[in-house]
Every structure is written in structure tokens, then in C-alpha cells.
Chains A and B, each alone.
Chain A
Amino acid sequence: MAVAEHSAGSSARLFWRRSGGALSALLSLVVTLLGLLVFTFALSHLSPVDPVLQIAGDHASESTYAQVRASLGLDQPVPLQFWHYLEHLVRGDLGISSITNQPVASDLLRTFPATIELATCAMIFGAVFGILLALLAAWKPGSVLDNVARMISLLGYSVPVFWLGLLGLLLFYAVLHWSAGPGRLDDIWIYTLEPKTGLVLIDSWLSGDMEMFRNAIAHLWLPVVVLGLLSMATITRLLRAALLEESSKEYVTLARAKGASRGRILLLHIFPNVRGTLITVLALSYATLLEGSVLTETVFAWPGVGRYMTTALFASDTPAILGSTLLIGGCFIAINALADALTYLTDPRTR
């Protein structure tokens, strides 16, 4: 009995610890998002741009101006405006964007898949080549391979993505014809594609039209490579440093003394031990890609959330700014939480 009681007690404690952990994680998520909203809301209200004029136009009379101001709720005290915003938010209503005249929620549902598609593919590209380059570099530090890897990562890191995008278009689209032009699909396909998931690769695959699917790839690969180079550079640089740091540890010297080959040590001993760093780097990189692909989206006419947010910022479109901030903020938190969980699950040292 004593044993059974003990075991029941410990599983109850474990349960409470776990659910308590989940609760506190949820609470911290809500608090972080709320903080983000308060900050963005305050900043939007400090902006010198008058959102009423943006909507009512130059010719609006005093009464129209007042009417628009009231309809936006701007005649109320700021804390009350914020409270109303939260009330609507709970119901899933993010307000109406003043630039598209559409509900912000539906705008985000339309633009976010485009960004997810681009960022995820770029992330996969960056991760595959980044890890490969870092391993090659750490295999023989100071060698020609290492220098080449460092140079590629330096280039990816320092060349402006906007310029790289235009250059890529010029070379692969205009000169070599290896890639399709800006946009997500050629005109003939735009007619027929019915968006289901918003991800063109999947939608075109589901449509059963393989020609359209190939066209989607033709449009996608260049922006993916351009954007992926950036994350590849970050991954290579950080992972290489982590691998080299790890290789100076005692267990590596021991393995070497035992006669293990350089490649074996790198892949089977060192690499698994840097997975914590790798997961963090990948997570950060992915979060940055989701938020920061605005320039790539502009060059490649990619209708994603980065461009939506920038257009909203320039037009001082508060509901759109708040909505996209919330979305990107949520993604950041979710990706970080996922990275923590992955590290926790795969690395017993962190438990």
C-alpha cells in the first residue's frame, strides 16, 4: 500500500507539475501577447499620421471627419479604445483594415499562407545547406572547404536581400530562363486555381494539374533560394562555432585517442551534442523569416504578410498593424515554445 500510495502521490504531483507548467506557459503567452499589443497600440497612437484623414480623404467636411472618427472609436479615451479592441479580439474580430477595406482576419488568412509557404521552403533550404556547410567547415577547420563555407555564409549574411533578389531575377529569369518571373503563378494558371489551403504548391497539387504544379515550383524556387541564403548564412556561422567549441571538449579528445575517424567523431559524437544550439538557431531563423521577408516579397511580387504589414505601417492602418503584430508575435512565441519543448525532449541534460 505504501508503495502504491507513494506512486499515486508522485503521479499526481507530476500531473500537477505538468499541467501547472502548461498553465503557466499559457499564462505567460497571454501576458506576452498582451504586452506586445499594449506597446503596439501605444505606438500607433503616438504616430503623427492621422488615420481619420487616411480614410475620409482630403475633401471631407468637418461632419464627415467627425463621423469617421467616431466610427473608428477614436473619439473615446485611449484605454477604452484598447478595451474595446480586446473585447472584439476575444470574439475573433480584428477590425477592418483601412487600406483593403476588408476584415483584418480575412486579410491575414489570405496573406499568411503565402508567407508560410515561402518561409518554410526557405527554412528547409537554409537548414539543409547550412548544416551541410557547417559540418564541412568543422570537419577540417582552416581548410579550403572551411574558408569557402565561411565566405558563402559571409556573402549570404552581408549582401542585401533586395539586391540579391533583383540580381537573381535578372540572371535566372531574364537571361537563363530557369525561373519564372515575379508572382506565384503564371497568368493562365491564376484563372483556374481555386485556393483551398492558400499554399500554391499544395493547391496546385490538389488540383491535379501537374503543369500548374511545375509552374508553382518555377515561381517559388528563386525567392526560396534568395531568402534561404540568409538563413543558411546564419545557421552555418552559428553551428560552425558551436561544433568547433564542442570539438575542444575532453570526450572528443578521448574518442580521437581511441582512434575514431574525424568524420565519425563529428557526425556521431559532436553533432548530437550541439542539437540544443541547432534547434535554437533554426527556431530563431524561422521566426525571422516569417516576419522579415518583406523585401523578398516586394521584389518577387509575393503577396505575403510582410508586405501587408509594411503597407499597413505606411498608411497608419492601426487594425492591420495590430492584427499582423499579434500574428507574428504569436508565431515567435509558438516557435520558441516548440524549440524549448524539442530541446527538452531530445536533450536529457536540460530536464
Chain B
Amino acid sequence: MKIAVPSVIALALAASFAASAATPADTLVIAQSIDDAKSFDPADGFELTSVQAFTNLYQRLVQSDPQNPIDLKPTLATSWTPGSDNRSMTFTLREGAKFASGNPLRPEDVIFSLSRVVKLNLDPSFILTQLGWTKENVDAQLKKIDDNHVQISWSANVSPTYVLSLLAAPVSSIVDEKTVTAHEQNGDLGNKWLALNSAGSGPYQIRKYIPHEVVLFSANPTSPAGAPKLKNVLIKNVPEPAARRLLLEQGDADIARNLGADQMASLKGKAGVKTLAVPMASLYYIQFNIDANPVLKNPALWEASRYLFDYKGIANDLLKGQFQVHQSFLPEGFLGALNENPYSYDPEKAKAILKKAGLTNVSFKLAVSNQPPYLDIAQALQASFAKGGVKVEVQPGISSEVATRVKAHQYESTLNAWGADYFDPNTNAAAFAYNPEDGSKTLAWRSNWHIPELSKQTLAATAETDKAKRVELYEKMQREVQKNSPYVIGMQARNLVALRDNLKGYVQGINPDMVYYSQVTK
């Protein structure tokens, strides 16, 4: 013990010198899990961490207004003119716009950026291939008119407004062709290099990235968006939410992301900290595989289930503010979102519906990820369904295993979350209300739900140019799915974020990519 005491004291003393370092004044320090980041190449990255980075590293021709996301603002393009054929658009590029490397923005950069997405054919490429672009035809669809005009054409039957929505998605980020091609390896169009580096015109650029540890952005003062207010953004990997909370409380982090309801509850009212619950474009729903057994095909079961989901109990009591009740397939904040919630928990009504349909002793298996909050919600559903006489057998598994089983149609029902891929109502319509029987693996396909009429309506809505008419079409489809589908859409998630209260100018929107660091001051 004689040795022990002095060594512990020595260690503690050494530690106490440096333990209370605050975050540097010119740096925004964010604690979150970055374990998901696979690539920072906008043609490849489709995970939360990389998508959140793209808006800060890159710019697109058009982009959502941070304050009002439905409104698309000219960004690297100053204006655009639709072609007379309704299948093309000519963009005027911003004059004097430069990449972080100092290279000027040229039509060639736009053509290179968009075509490489299609040629690389990686995860997010489906967003642009909706325009009818393929590896073979994409070069012909993108044309340089002169030194600051570029024409974009498409063969699919979609309206120019829909095309603009797709061009505002992170995958349409414009990269610096000269820098990227200089780092090309074996014809990979710079994919390997861009996975760890950046070559954009956004307010920041990647200065250092150590996978699973830290990513550091430094300011790009020549960004056409203007220089950011803080010099650096440091995102450090802290996988445990309780540790993220402690870092924020101590002032060693300025922002802590993806906290749980427990962490938020304990942070409320703490000095120096403010909390946000930002609605996210992420819906939680039950889905039935209607070919798994005859009961699951019965619309009476679908209807009864809508009265057996304890919406308010789960959103407010179980997951305290982490969710809001939402029952239609477009999340609140999207163009055309229906914010009517006609169903409420009513086991007696559910019993009557099942009785009328002659369904007795109903039971089904619910496949669910063993991660929070899925398992908590599934257990609450088990209890609320039981009160209506429906036995739910919860089958927990690791997320990737559950996802594989669901995609292979090897399930009876599942509780899952669906996030929007880009900021246009079609992203969810094409998932929930579209099953074109051509092998497209949509959510409706996972349910074996055959819907030629709704599929037609989904296509028609993307071709509609009149905004008001488009909204009308989506509202109609949402009501139809809400009333008669093998889904019970119950809740919309909120992103729980906590900030130091000296932070100003932080904006976060509904879509995962809508995270804006450039105006933050402290």
C-alpha cells in the first residue's frame, strides 16, 4: 500500500493539470458516433455521419433554404431555364465560384460530378438514375453549352421541379474535377481518395480524418457561400450516449448528438446547456408480410392494428418526447405531408373489427432489431395488442440480420423505421405506395402488396409540374395508404440534440443532410 498511495496521487495530480481544458474558441466540437461513416465521397456515402457532412463540405446547383427547406435556392447555379421539350434544363453557373483548391467552377465539373455518380453505381446512385440515366447514356444527357452554362437532360417522365429536388440531394454535390481526377486510382473516378478527403466548394473542407476516431473540418474562406464563422469543426467519435452527455455538460463538447430520452431528461434545466428535439424525416411503422399467412392478408387485421398501436402512450410516456404521433407516409415538414392523425388506441373497437371479420385467436410474429428504441416499442406494442386480444410474439435480432430476413420475405411482421433519402415527397411515396412488379425492392414489395393503381399515381405525381396539384395527389395517396394498407405508421422521430447555451447560429433541418455549421458562433 505504501507504493499504491503515492502513485495514485501522482497520477491524479498529473491528470488534474489538463483535465479541465475547454473547447478551443475557434472550433466547434461535436460529440457523436461516427462509427457508421463508410465514405465521405458524395457519390458513395449514404450514412448519417457522411450525409451530415456533405452540406458543409460541398455545394450543389440548387439547395434547400435552411430556414424553409421546401424552398429551393440557387446555389452553384444562379438560374435555370427549362427546355421546351420538358425533358431538359439549362443552368447558369455562378460567376467567380471557386473550389477550396482555388480551381474555378466549370461546366465540366458539373458534368463530371453527376456522371460519376451514375458510372460508379454505388448506394445513393438510384437517386439520379430515376432520371433515366445509365452508365451508357449519361454522357449524352449532360452537355456544356458555353463556359458558364450547362444543360441537363433526362429521359424519364418526370417534371423539372422533381429534377430540381433530385439535384438538391447530397449525391448531386459538385466536386472539383481537376483535384479528383489527379487522385484517381485504377479508373475509380477518385472514389478511394474522396472517401477520406474532400474536393468541394462548401464552407469547410476535410483536414484530417481518422476512421472511428475523429474527423476535423477546416474553414474554406473562399467558398462561394462565404467564409464560415468558426475556423474548425471537430467531430469526435463518442459511441456511448451517456459519455456524450458528460462531455457536453463539462463543456468539452459544444454539441452532443443522438442522445437518448434519458440523457435529455437529465440535461433539462442544467446550467449552460440547451436541448433541441428536431423533427426528423424518419417514420416508425409496423409492416405485415401479407403472403406469410392468410390472416396477415386480411384488411380487417390491418384496420384493427391501427387501433391497437398505443400511439400517445409510446410517444409521450415510454419515449418521452423522442417521437411525435404521425400516421401518414410523408413526414411532417415535407411538401404535401398530411398531418391528420385519425387513429387512436381503442382495443374495444379493434376487437369488434376482428370479430366482424371472423378473426379469432389472432397471433403473429414481430421481427425487430434488439437496439433501443425498437425493442422498447415492440414490447409496448405486445402489451397494447394483447388488450385487443391479439398475441404478438416479439422476435428480436441484430439489425442487419432482421433487415436481411425482411428483404428476403422471411418474416410475418416487422417494426421498422424509414428515413427519407432525399427531400421530395416521392422518396417516401416510392417506398410505401409503389410496387411496379419490375423487381424494384420497395417497402410495398417487402409486404408483397400489389398496388398497380397506387403505383400509377406515384409516377403521375413525379410528372406533375403544378405544385398545388402535386400536393393534392400526395394527400390523396396518403389517405388511401392510411386507411387501407398493410402498414401501421405510428410515429415520427425527433432528433435529440443538446448544445452549449453560448452557441448561436446552429441550424438543423428535417432531412439528415440538413445540418448547417457555417453560421455557428460561440
Contacts and interface: CB of A to CB of B under 8 A. Distances in A.
B240 A298 contact: yes
A199 to B, nearest CB: 14
B212 A308 contact: yes
B236 A183 contact: yes
B2 to A, nearest CB: 10
Interface in A138-195: 166, 169-170, 173-174, 177-184, 186-188, 190-191
A211 B21 CA distance: 11
Contacts of B312: none
Interface stretch (A2-10, A257-265, A277-285, A310-318): A310-318
Contact of B126 (A59, A190, A221, A303): A59
A132 B195 CA distance: 50
Contacts, number: 161
A49 interface: yes
Nearest to B24: A188
B19 A178 contact: yes
B21 A110 contact: no
Contacts of A57: 46, 122-124
Interface in B250-273: 250, 252
B216 A191 contact: yes
A101 B195 contact: yes
Contacts of A190: 214, 216, 234, 236
B182 interface: no
Contacts of A184: 213
Contacts of B404: 48-50, 53
B361 interface: no
A189 B21 CA distance: 11
B178 interface: no
A169 B243 contact: yes
Given A57-B123, A181-B243, A301-B239, A173 B38 contact: no
Contacts of B421: 59
Given A111-B212, A215-B21, A307-B239, A174 B246 contact: yes
B236 A178 contact: no
Contact of B398 (A58, A215, A221, A314): A314
Q: Which of B44, B239, B403 has the most CB of A within 10 A?
A: B239
A303 B3 contact: no
Nearest to A59: B126
Contacts of B210: 110, 303
A278 to B, nearest CB: 18
Interface residues of B, number: 62
Given A49-B400, A58-B441, A178 B18 contact: no
A214 B11 CA distance: 10
| SS of A interface (majority) | helix
Contacts of B240: 166, 182, 298-299, 301
A307 B34 CA distance: 13
A128 interface: yes
A214 B1 CA distance: 25
A54 B408 CA distance: 14
Contacts of B12: 178, 221
B211 interface: yes
A214 B17 contact: yes
A62 interface: yes
B29 interface: yes
A28 interface: no
A114 to B, nearest CB: 8
Contacts of A170: 246
Contacts of B126: 59-60
Q: Which of A98, A301, A307 has the most CB of B within 10 A?
A: A301
A182 B246 CA distance: 9
Interface string B393-410: 000011111011101100
B356 to A, nearest CB: 37
A100 B192 CA distance: 11
Contacts of B4: 129, 132
B39 interface: yes
Contact of A181 (B44, B121, B246, B408): B246
A107 interface: yes
A311 B35 contact: yes
Interface string B369-406: 00000000000000000000000000001111101110
Given A186-B21, A214-B14, 11 more contacts: A54-B400, A57-B124, A58-B407, A61-B439, A181-B246, A187-B27, A191-B232, A214-B17, A217-B14, A300-B243, A311-B35
30 contacts: A48-B397, A48-B404, A49-B404, A53-B403, A53-B404, A58-B407, A59-B123, A59-B126, A59-B441, A99-B35, A100-B211, A101-B195, A102-B195, A110-B210, A132-B1, A132-B3, A166-B243, A174-B250, A181-B246, A187-B21, A214-B15, A218-B14, A218-B18, A221-B11, A221-B12, A221-B14, A298-B239, A303-B237, A307-B239, A315-B400
Rank and list the top 9 A-B pairs by shortest CB-CB distance, nearest first: A57-B123, A59-B126, A218-B15, A215-B18, A303-B213, A301-B238, A49-B400, A182-B243, A186-B21
Interface of A: 47-50, 53-54, 56-62, 64, 67, 98-102, 107, 110-111, 128-129, 132, 136, 166, 169-170, 173-174, 177-184, 186-188, 190-191, 211, 214-215, 217-218, 221, 298-301, 303, 307-308, 311, 314-316
